[in-house]
């Protein structure tokens, strides 16, 4: 098969959560275990950092990877979903997996894997583990796809587990309360392997401490270990000053990921890096500083509070649930503009009422539909939005919506594009 034919096979033959939703979700690890066995269990040859959470797990994974790269290590990075290119999911030191490796892997294992009828994600996790093991990476940063306990990545034994936060997302699969969702995320905690929780949330903290106690491992809530003394945006960086409460030392970091929500991710990253250092990795303060200020360049991350163009200012962000949208609105409040234009698209398997109720009624909306089957039709989105007083027109593609917004916006207006990772992907593809 050619690379194009290989991708067509993966996308069409295998259930893919990002495209079809819950139908692709497997409530056990049987397929993944079978795949790993067929590959000779490459995950057991890797030193890993495992990252879960409702929001921020992608940014956290990329920040940790960037610092480790800057410290001179060969770093595998597995994340999802991809925005423009499938190969974004699997990288070593910021370089995407080759098309040839993917094609050869699928051809070699197609017959064996088909006996288990794996999902797209299960197949991809096997590919990542195989690629990293054969490349003999020094460390692999592995982002959970969905949940934790039953996620395909949860066959690894990491040096440290990181859980960024818990919010209401994927409730049809993970549970309809924060406590249930926290229980699923806590499933990545492993016996005698330390866990960092980036944000202390009092209503669910006991779930994590109980799990850590059960597995006889250490746990720390990074937001209790560090105090944010201040943050500000300057010169295309987000500058954050942190106080280590244990040592009473302060440090200032310049992040090239400039969304203010990265402050919450940063404290988890700093806490995790300390544990990684205690496991024998040599990481100095300069590595941390330079890694965090060059995450985009080192790892190829995009779609996080990304400025697309100026005059008018056009910004996109992948925040797509209630907590994510709250962060988006906070960041928008830091800008001065005359009129806000909001290009909005969502997926069809979520209760979006909580998101729509947060959005400013004074904005001009461009309701649209991303180019994935899960996307909610733009006309339905428009009707739901109108019920709570959001005004705007509907457009069948993100390209049309953005074109209209640019036509109507004045130089001192602001255009924001978001609501779904896939809307951001469509924008970046234009």
pLDDT tens digit at each of 430 positions of the chain: 999 999 988 887 655 544 444 444 556 899 999 999 999 999 999 999 999 999 999 999 999 999 999 999 999 999 999 999 999 999 999 999 999 999 999 999 999 988 888 888 899 999 999 999 999 999 999 999 988 999 999 999 999 999 999 998 767 778 889 999 999 999 999 999 999 999 999 999 999 999 999 999 999 999 999 999 999 998 889 999 999 999 999 999 999 999 999 999 999 999 999 999 999 999 999 999 999 999 999 999 999 999 999 999 999 999 988 999 999 999 999 999 999 999 999 998 777 998 999 999 999 999 999 998 889 999 999 999 999 999 999 999 999 999 999 999 999 999 999 999 999 999 999 8
Question: Does residue 221 sit in the same domain as residue 72?
Answer: yes
pLDDT of residue 294: 98
- Which DSSP letter does residue 125 get? H
Question: Does residue 244 sit in the same domain as residue 334?
Answer: no
Question: Does residue 293 sit in the same domain as residue 420?
Answer: no
Question: Does residue 194 sit in the same domain as residue 329?
Answer: no
Quote the domain boundaries for residue 47.
3-299
Question: Does residue 12 sit in the same domain as residue 160?
Answer: yes
Question: Does residue 209 sit in the same domain as residue 170?
Answer: yes
Dist. CA 64–CA 307, nearest whole Å: 23
Q: Which of 268, 299, 330 is the last residue of a domain?
A: 299
Task: Using a cut of 0.85, tell me whether the model's pTM lies above it.
Answer: yes
pLDDT of residue 20: 44
Question: Does residue 84 sit in the same domain as residue 228?
Answer: yes
Question: Does residue 277 sit in the same domain as residue 321?
Answer: no
Question: Does residue 145 sit in the same domain as residue 294?
Answer: yes
Question: Does residue 12 sit in the same domain as residue 98?
Answer: yes
**Beta carbons within 10 angstroms of residue 218's beta carbon:** 12
Q: Which of 299, 315, 332 is the last residue of a domain?
A: 299
Going by C-beta distance under 8 Å and a sequence separation of 6 or more, which residues neighbour residue 87? Answer: 96, 97, 98, 99, 102
Question: Does residue 199 sit in the same domain as residue 325?
Answer: no
pLDDT of residue 125: 96
Question: Does residue 361 sit in the same domain as residue 259?
Answer: no
Q: First and final CA of the chain: distance in angstroms?
A: 28
Give the total number of structural domains in the chain.
2
CATH classification at residue 57: 3.40.1190.10
Dist. CA 371–CA 102, nearest whole Å: 24
List Cα–Cα distances, 208 to 66, 182, 304, in angstroms.
Answer: 27, 8, 28
Q: Which of 299, 329, 348 is the last residue of a domain?
A: 299
CATH classification at residue 352: 3.90.190.20
Do 205 and 221 touch, CB atoms closer than 8 A? yes
């Amino acid at each position: 098969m050619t690379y194009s034919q290989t991708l067509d096979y993966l996308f069409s033959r295998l259930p893919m959560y990002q495209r079809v939703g819950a139908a692709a979700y497997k409530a056990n690890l049987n397929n993944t275990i079978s795949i790993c066995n067929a590959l000779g269990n490459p995950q057991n040859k890797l030193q890993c950092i495992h990252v879960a959470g409702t929001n921020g797990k992608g940014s956290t994974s990329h920040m940790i990877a960037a610092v480790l790269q800057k410290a001179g290590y060969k770093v595998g990075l597995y994340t999802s979903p991809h925005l423009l290119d499938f190969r974004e999911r699997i990288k070593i030191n910021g370089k995407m997996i080759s098309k040839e490796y993917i094609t050869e892997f699928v051809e070699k294992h197609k017959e064996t894997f088909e006996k288990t009828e794996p999902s797209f994600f299960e197949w991809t996790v096997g590919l990542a583990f195989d690629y990293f093991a054969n490349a003999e990476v020094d460390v692999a940063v592995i982002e959970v796809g969905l949940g934790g306990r039953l996620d395909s990545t949860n066959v690894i034994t990491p040096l440290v587990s990181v859980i960024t936060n818990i919010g209401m997302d994927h409730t049809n699969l993970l549970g309809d309360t924060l406590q249930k969702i926290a229980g699923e995320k806590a499933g990545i905690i492993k016996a005698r392997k330390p866990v960092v929780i980036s944000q202390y949330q009092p209503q669910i903290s006991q779930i994590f401490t109980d799990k850590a106690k059960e597995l006889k491992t250490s746990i720390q809530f990074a937001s209790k270990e560090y105090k944010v003394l201040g943050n500000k945006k300057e010169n295309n960086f987000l500058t954050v000053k942190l106080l280590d409460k244990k040592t009473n030392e302060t440090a200032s970091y310049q992040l090239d990921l400039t969304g203010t929500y990265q402050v919450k991710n940063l404290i988890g990253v700093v806490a995790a890096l300390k544990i990684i250092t205690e496991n024998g990795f040599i990481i100095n303060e300069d590595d941390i500083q330079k890694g965090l200020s060059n995450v985009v360049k080192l790892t190829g991350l995009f779609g996080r509070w990304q400025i697309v163009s100026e005059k008018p200012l056009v910004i996109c962000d992948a925040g797509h649930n209630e907590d994510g949208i709250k962060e988006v609105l906070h960041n928008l409040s830091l800008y001065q503009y005359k009129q806000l234009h909001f290009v909005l698209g969502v997926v069809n398997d979520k209760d979006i009422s909580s998101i729509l109720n947060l959005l400013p009624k004074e904005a001009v909306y461009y309701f649209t539909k991303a180019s994935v089957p899960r996307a909610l039709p733009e006309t339905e989105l428009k009707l739901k939005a109108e019920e709570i007083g959001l005004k705007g027109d509907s457009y069948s593609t993100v390209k049309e919506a953005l074109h209209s917004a640019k036509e109507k916006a004045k130089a001192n207006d602001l255009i924001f594009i978001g609501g779904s990772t896939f809307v951001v992907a469509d924008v970046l593809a234009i």
